Structure 1
Amino acid sequence: MVKARHRFESQSSSQTLAEGLVEYFAANPLLKRDDDLLSPEAKQFFRSHDIVHVLYGCGTTMPDEAIVKLSSLMGTTGGLSVLRGYTHHETLDIYTKLPPGSTVLALLSAPYLIVRTLWRCSRQKQRWPWVEHQQFLDVPLSEIRAKFGIKVAHANRAA
C-alpha cells in the first residue's frame, strides 16, 4: 500500500478541518486565496473548492483536480451552480496557465475516476454544504467524513 502524502488525505485523519486546510496550504504555498485582487465571489469559490480538496483527500494533481470538480458538483449542496465559479476571471486565469486540455486528458487517462467519484458521491449520507461550512472548522475530518459519508479519493492508501 502507498502511504498518504499528507495527513488530510487519510480517511481516518484526526485533524480538524481547519488543521487540514493549514496543511493543504503549507503543501501548496503558491495558492493565493486571500489575495486582495480576488473578487469576493472568487474568494468564496476558492475557499469552498479548497475545502473539498481537504475533505475528499485530494492533492493538486490533474486527476485529483478532476475528482474535486466532480465531487463539488455531485457531493456538495453547490450542485451545478458550482460551475459558475469556473467562469470568474481569476479561475480562467489559472486555466490559461495549464497545459491545454490537461483536465480532459486526466479524465480520459483514468476513466474510472468519473465512475468511482460519481458512485461515491451518490453513496454519501448527505451533501457537504458548499458555503455554510464554518461550524465544521473545529471538527475532526474523520467525524465529518463519517457524518456525510465522504470517502477520500485515495482510500486504499495507508494512513
Structure 2
Amino acid sequence: MTRQLPYSDLTLEEALDAFRKENNLEAKYRDMREEAQTHFERHDIIHVLFGLDTSIRQEAQADGWTLFGTDISLRHIREFFDLPEEKELIEDIGWWEITKAYFRGIPDYFRIAWQSRKLRKKWRWSDHAAYRSRRVGEIRQEFGIKRALAG
C-alpha cells in the first residue's frame, strides 16, 4: 500500500505556506533579503514536492533531489552557498554535523540518482511560477514523483 505524500491536495502556494508554518520558518523568511528568499523558497519547493521534512538527513536528501531531479546550474549552487543567510545557517548547524550527515547520506544519493532517472522530466529550478496555483499531487503526477526515501 502506497502512502500519499503530504500536501498532495494543496496548491504549491498553499503547501509552501503550510511547510513554513509547520517548520517555524515564517519569521526566518521575513528577515531574509529578497535574493535569499528566492533561493530558500526554491529549496523548500523540493521539500514539498518530494515530501521531505527538515531533519538533517532529509535536508541532505533534498539536496540530492535538487542535484539529480532539477535543472539547477552550478551558478545557482554557487550563488546559494554565497548567500550570507546560507552561511549563517551552516554555522548554526555546524560544519561537522553537516559533513557527517552528508557522508551518512551517500547511499541515499545513489538511490536518489537512480530514482531521478525515472522522473518524467526534471523540475525547473528557476521557473515554477506556472505551478504555484496547481495542486501538488498533480505536479507530482506530471513529473513522475512517486515518493521520497525513508527517513
Report the TM-score range of the alignment, normalised by the length of the smaller protein.
0.7 to 0.9
Out of 75, 78, 97, which is 1:81 matched to? 75
Percent of aligned positions that are identical: 29
Question: Partners in 1 of 2:72 and 2:40 — Cα distance?
Answer: 13
Would the alpha carbon gap of residues 122 and 101 (structure 1) be closer, same or farther in structure 2, given more than 3 Å must change? farther
Post-superposition offset of 1:132: 1.2
Letter in 2 for 1:22: D
Post-superposition offset of 1:44: 1.3
Post-superposition offset of 1:87: 2.0
1:65 correspondence with 2:64: no
Specify every segment of 5 or more residues in structure 2 that has no aligned partner in the other structure, as ranges.
none
Would the alpha carbon gap of residues 30 and 20 (structure 1) be closer, same or farther in structure 2, given more than 3 Å must change? closer
Post-superposition offset of 1:110: 4.3
Assess if the C-alpha contact under 8 Å between 2:70 and 2:124 holds in 1: yes
Letter in 2 for 1:71: W
Assess if the C-alpha contact under 8 Å between 2:49 and 2:136 holds in 1: yes
* 1:25-104 pair list within 5 angstroms: 25-31=20-26, 32-35=28-31, 38-84=32-78, 85-104=80-99
Question: Partners in 1 of 2:49 and 2:129 — Cα distance?
Answer: 14
Out of 146, 149, 153, which is 2:148 matched to? 153
Question: Partners in 1 of 2:17 and 2:34 — Cα distance?
Answer: 21
* 1:68-147 pair list within 5 angstroms: 68-84=62-78, 85-147=80-142
Letter in 2 for 1:67: Q
Question: Partners in 2 of 1:48 and 1:108 — Cα distance?
Answer: 24
User: What is the total number of aligned residue pairs between the two structures?
Assistant: 148
* 1:6-17 pair list within 5 angstroms: 7-8=6-7, 13-17=8-12
Would the alpha carbon gap of residues 34 and 133 (structure 1) be closer, same or farther in structure 2, given more than 3 Å must change? farther
Would the alpha carbon gap of residues 102 and 122 (structure 1) be closer, same or farther in structure 2, given more than 3 Å must change? farther
SS of aligned partner of 2:30: coil
SS of aligned partner of 1:7: coil
Letter in 1 for 2:65: S
Post-superposition offset of 1:30: 3.8
SS of aligned partner of 2:145: coil
Question: Partners in 2 of 1:73 and 1:33 — Cα distance?
Answer: 23
Specify every segment of 5 or more residues in structure 1 that has no aligned partner in the other structure, as ranges.
none
Question: Partners in 2 of 1:21 and 1:39 — Cα distance?
Answer: 18
Post-superposition offset of 1:107: 3.1
